[in-house]
Amino acid sequence: MKTVTVSARTKTLIELLKQARREGLILRSPDGHEFILAEIDDFDREIELTRKNKKLMKLLDERGRQAKTHSAADVRARLGL
């Protein structure tokens, strides 16, 4: 992850950062991509926002229902390693 220093002259972003101090934000771009803006110390809120990510939760649910697994030894044998 990259850290970017925000200029005090960027008023819109500064206002968003102030809001994020009070409550984590989901930023939605015009093309529909979503980003989380939250204080790093606010880990509980980040978890809450992540849990609200329906696509991610669906993926995790599907993976959790997979009954069949493969051991590392089995995979090595199949790949000839």
Tokens of 11: 């008023």
CA-to-CA distance for 25 and 45, rounded, in angstroms? 10
| Banded pLDDT at 76 (limits 50, 70, 90) | very high
pLDDT at 66: 85
Residues in contact with 7: Cβ distance below 8 Å, sequence separation at least 6, in sequence order: none
Could you read off the pLDDT of 20-65 as tens digits, one per residue? 888 888 888 888 888 888 877 767 777 888 888 899 999 989 888 8
Mapping DSSP to helix (H, G, I), strand (E, B) and coil, where does residue 66 land? Answer: coil
Question: Whole-model pTM?
Answer: 0.42
Centre a 10 Å sphere on the Cβ of residue 16 and count the other Cβ atoms it contains.
15
